[in-house]
Structure 1
Amino acid sequence: MSQTSDQMELREAEIVAHYPVALALLQGFDHAPRIGKAEVAAAPERSSGIGTRRRFRTTTPGLVTRRSVPTGAVQLMATIEGADDDDALISAVQATVLTALRRAVSIALAVAENYASVSRLGDLKRANLEGALPAARKAEFAELLAAEALITLYVFANATAYLLSTHQSETIVEVGEVEEVLTDNGQTALHGALWELDRDIETHAPDDVHLVACVAAYAEALMEKVSLRAQTAPRLEAFLTASWHVEADDFTVQGFSPASKAKSSTLTMTFKKPHEVVGNHIAKYQAMKLAKMLMAYDFGRRLNPFAELGGFIFTFMGDGKPGTGKTTLIQMMAGLLNDYCQVAGYPFRYQNLSTDNIDSYQGKSGQNAKAFINNVLDPSVIGFGTIDDIDQLAGKRGDRQSSAGQLEITAVLMESFAGANTVVRGNCTFGMFSNYPENVDDALRQRAGARFLVDGPQTREDYIDILYLLMGKNHDIPLGAHEVFSAQEIKKAVAASFDSHSRPHEPGLMEVFDRVDAQIGTLDTIAKLGTYLKAIQEADERFTGRAIKNITDAVKVRAMDFELPDEWMEDPELFLFRDYDTKKSMISELRVPITVDMVVQEINRYADSEFRYADKSDEVAIDAMVRDFGRQEEAKKRWLGGKA
Structure 2
Amino acid sequence: MTLTSDLMELREEEIAKHYDAALALLDGFDHAPRVAKPTAAPVAERSPGVGTRRRFRSTTPGLVTRREERPEGVHLIDRVAACDGDDPLMSSRQAAVLQALRRALAIGLALGEGFAEQTGLADLKRKNLEGGLGVDRKAEFSELLAAEALIVMHASANALVSLLADHAGEVTVEVGEVEEFLTDNASLALHGALWELDQDLGAHAEGDEEKLVPTVTAFAEALMEKAARRAEGLARVAPFANASYRVEADDLTIRGFTPARKAGGPALVMQFKKPHEVVGNHIAKYQAMKLAKMVMAYDFDRRLNPFAELGGFIFTFMGDGAPGTGKTTLIQMMAGLINDYCQNAGYPFRYQNFGIDNIDSYQGKSGQNAKAFVQNILDPSVIGFGTIDDIDQIAGKRGDRQSSAGQQEVTAVFMEAFAGANTVVRGNCTFGMFSNYPENVDDALRQRAGARFLVDGPQTREDYIDILALLMGKRHDIPLGDHELYAAQEIKRAVAASFEAHGRPKEEGLVKVFAEVEARIGGFDTIAKLGTYLKAIQEADERFTGRAIKNITDAVKVRAMDFELPDEWMEEPELFLFKPYDEKSAMIEELRRPITIDMVVQEINRYADSEFRYADKSDEVAIEGMVRDMGRQDAARRRYLEGKG
Q: TM-score range by the shorter chain?
A: 0.7 to 0.9
Q: Which residue of 2 aligns with 1:460?
A: 461
Q: Which residue of 2 aligns with 1:102?
A: 102
Q: Which residue of 2 aligns with 1:78?
A: 75
Q: How does 1:416-565 map to 2 (within 5 A)?
A: 416-473=417-474, 474-480=476-482, 482-565=483-566
1:86 is displaced (CA, Å) by 11
Q: Does 1:593 align with 2:613?
A: no
Alignment partners' CA distance in 2, 1:113 and 1:399: 45
- Report the 3-state secondary structure (helix = DSSP H, G, I; strand = E; otherwise coil) of the residue aligned with 2:160: helix
Alignment partners' CA distance in 1, 2:114 and 2:537: 56
Query: Deviation digits for residues 466-498 of structure 1, max 9, x if unmatched?
Result: 333334442242421x43333222122212211
For the Cα contact (< 8 Å) 1:314–1:424, is it kept in 2?
Answer: yes
Q: Alignment partner for residue 248 of structure 2, among 220, 223, 246?
A: 246
Q: Kindly tell me: are residues 245 and 57 of structure 1, through their superposed partners in 2, closer, same or farther at Cα, counting changes over 3 Å?
A: closer
Q: Kindly tell me: are residues 479 and 428 of structure 1, through their superposed partners in 2, closer, same or farther at Cα, counting changes over 3 Å?
A: same
Q: Which residue of 1 aligns with 2:197?
A: 201
1:290 is displaced (CA, Å) by 0.9
Q: Kindly tell me: are residues 411 and 62 of structure 1, through their superposed partners in 2, closer, same or farther at Cα, counting changes over 3 Å?
A: farther
Q: Kindly tell me: are residues 210 and 179 of structure 1, through their superposed partners in 2, closer, same or farther at Cα, counting changes over 3 Å?
A: closer
Alignment partners' CA distance in 1, 2:8 and 2:439: 50
Alignment partners' CA distance in 2, 1:178 and 1:559: 59
Give the share of equivalent positions with the same residue, in percent: 65
Alignment partners' CA distance in 2, 1:563 and 1:351: 25
Q: Alignment partner for residue 218 of structure 1, among 197, 217, 223?
A: 223
Q: Which residue of 1 aligns with 2:40?
A: 54
Q: Alignment partner for residue 41 of structure 1, among 36, 45, 62?
A: 36
Alignment partners' CA distance in 2, 1:521 and 1:563: 35
Alignment partners' CA distance in 2, 1:217 and 1:396: 30
Alignment partners' CA distance in 2, 1:226 and 1:378: 22
Query: Deviation digits for residues 509-534 of structure 1, max 9, x if unmatched?
Result: 11112222233333333333333222
Alignment partners' CA distance in 1, 2:215 and 2:572: 45
1:256 is displaced (CA, Å) by 8.1
Query: Deviation digits for residues 567-615 of structure 1, max 9, x if unmatched?
Result: 0111112122223333333223322233332222222111111110111
- Report the 3-state secondary structure (helix = DSSP H, G, I; strand = E; otherwise coil) of the residue aligned with 1:522: coil
1:409 is displaced (CA, Å) by 3.5
1:501 is displaced (CA, Å) by 1.4
More moved, 315-324 vs 414-423: 414-423
- Report the 3-state secondary structure (helix = DSSP H, G, I; strand = E; otherwise coil) of the residue aligned with 1:589: helix
Query: Deviation digits for residues 128-181 of structure 1, max 9, x if unmatched?
Result: 9xx9xxxxxx9xxx9xx9999999777655533432333456546564699766
Structure 2 counterpart of 1:440, one-letter code = V
Structure 1 counterpart of 2:290, one-letter code = K
Question: TM (normalized to structure 1)?
Answer: 0.79
Alignment partners' CA distance in 2, 1:412 and 1:469: 40
For the Cα contact (< 8 Å) 2:180–2:193, is it kept in 1?
Answer: no
Q: Kindly tell me: are residues 423 and 616 of structure 1, through their superposed partners in 2, closer, same or farther at Cα, counting changes over 3 Å?
A: same
Structure 2 counterpart of 1:191, one-letter code = S
For the Cα contact (< 8 Å) 1:55–1:85, is it kept in 2?
Answer: no
For the Cα contact (< 8 Å) 2:298–2:304, is it kept in 1?
Answer: yes
Q: Kindly tell me: are residues 403 and 110 of structure 1, through their superposed partners in 2, closer, same or farther at Cα, counting changes over 3 Å?
A: closer
More moved, 93-102 vs 152-161: 152-161
Q: Kindly tell me: are residues 469 and 87 of structure 1, through their superposed partners in 2, closer, same or farther at Cα, counting changes over 3 Å?
A: closer
Q: Which residue of 1 aligns with 2:162?
A: 162
Alignment partners' CA distance in 2, 1:230 and 1:577: 43
For the Cα contact (< 8 Å) 1:385–1:430, is it kept in 2?
Answer: yes
Q: Kindly tell me: are residues 152 and 382 of structure 1, through their superposed partners in 2, closer, same or farther at Cα, counting changes over 3 Å?
A: same
For the Cα contact (< 8 Å) 1:227–1:256, is it kept in 2?
Answer: no
Query: Deviation digits for residues 2-47 of structure 1, max 9, x if unmatched?
Result: x967989877566545433443454467999xxxxx71234xxxxx
1:87 is displaced (CA, Å) by 5.7
Q: How does 1:233-382 map to 2 (within 5 A)?
A: 245-247=247-249, 249-251=250-252, 259-382=260-383
Structure 2 counterpart of 1:201, one-letter code = L
Q: Does 1:635 align with 2:636?
A: yes
Alignment partners' CA distance in 2, 1:288 and 1:231: 46
Q: Which residue of 1 aligns with 2:385?
A: 384
Q: Kindly tell me: are residues 406 and 467 of structure 1, through their superposed partners in 2, closer, same or farther at Cα, counting changes over 3 Å?
A: same
Structure 1 counterpart of 2:40, one-letter code = R
1:505 is displaced (CA, Å) by 1.0
Query: Deviation digits for residues 282-336 of structure 1, max 9, x if unmatched?
Result: 1000000111112122333333232233222222111112222212211211221
Alignment partners' CA distance in 2, 1:80 and 1:21: 14
Q: Kindly tell me: are residues 199 and 124 of structure 1, through their superposed partners in 2, closer, same or farther at Cα, counting changes over 3 Å?
A: closer
1:114 is displaced (CA, Å) by 9.2
Question: TM (normalized to structure 2)?
Answer: 0.79
For the Cα contact (< 8 Å) 2:35–2:180, is it kept in 1?
Answer: no
Q: Which residue of 1 aligns with 2:573?
A: 572
For the Cα contact (< 8 Å) 2:153–2:224, is it kept in 1?
Answer: no
Q: Kindly tell me: are residues 392 and 222 of structure 1, through their superposed partners in 2, closer, same or farther at Cα, counting changes over 3 Å?
A: closer
Structure 2 counterpart of 1:101, one-letter code = L
1:245 is displaced (CA, Å) by 5.0
Alignment partners' CA distance in 1, 2:68 and 2:91: 27
Q: Kindly tell me: are residues 295 and 368 of structure 1, through their superposed partners in 2, closer, same or farther at Cα, counting changes over 3 Å?
A: same
More moved, 156-165 vs 5-14: 5-14
Alignment partners' CA distance in 2, 1:252 and 1:230: 23
Q: Kindly tell me: are residues 520 and 374 of structure 1, through their superposed partners in 2, closer, same or farther at Cα, counting changes over 3 Å?
A: same
1:446 is displaced (CA, Å) by 1.9
For the Cα contact (< 8 Å) 2:279–2:467, is it kept in 1?
Answer: yes
Query: Deviation digits for residues 345-391 of structure 1, max 9, x if unmatched?
Result: 22323222333334444444444444433433333332222222222
For the Cα contact (< 8 Å) 2:104–2:156, is it kept in 1?
Answer: yes
Structure 2 counterpart of 1:56, one-letter code = P
- Report the 3-state secondary structure (helix = DSSP H, G, I; strand = E; otherwise coil) of the residue aligned with 1:349: strand
Alignment partners' CA distance in 2, 1:621 and 1:529: 32
- Report the 3-state secondary structure (helix = DSSP H, G, I; strand = E; otherwise coil) of the residue aligned with 1:201: helix
Alignment partners' CA distance in 2, 1:360 and 1:232: 26
Q: Kindly tell me: are residues 322 and 253 of structure 1, through their superposed partners in 2, closer, same or farther at Cα, counting changes over 3 Å?
A: closer
Alignment partners' CA distance in 2, 1:443 and 1:120: 38
Q: Kindly tell me: are residues 586 and 149 of structure 1, through their superposed partners in 2, closer, same or farther at Cα, counting changes over 3 Å?
A: farther
Alignment partners' CA distance in 2, 1:233 and 1:270: 42
- Report the 3-state secondary structure (helix = DSSP H, G, I; strand = E; otherwise coil) of the residue aligned with 2:301: coil
Q: Kindly tell me: are residues 246 and 459 of structure 1, through their superposed partners in 2, closer, same or farther at Cα, counting changes over 3 Å?
A: closer
Q: Kindly tell me: are residues 231 and 585 of structure 1, through their superposed partners in 2, closer, same or farther at Cα, counting changes over 3 Å?
A: farther
Q: Kindly tell me: are residues 31 and 583 of structure 1, through their superposed partners in 2, closer, same or farther at Cα, counting changes over 3 Å?
A: farther
Q: CA RMSD in A?
A: 4.5
1:258 is displaced (CA, Å) by 6.1
Q: Kindly tell me: are residues 541 and 199 of structure 1, through their superposed partners in 2, closer, same or farther at Cα, counting changes over 3 Å?
A: farther
Q: Which runs of 5+ in 1 are unaligned?
A: 33-37, 43-51, 132-137, 183-188
1:412 is displaced (CA, Å) by 3.6
For the Cα contact (< 8 Å) 2:320–2:453, is it kept in 1?
Answer: yes
For the Cα contact (< 8 Å) 1:8–1:245, is it kept in 2?
Answer: no
Alignment partners' CA distance in 1, 2:119 and 2:423: 31
Q: Which runs of 5+ in 2 are unaligned?
A: 58-65, 131-136, 205-211
For the Cα contact (< 8 Å) 2:398–2:442, is it kept in 1?
Answer: yes
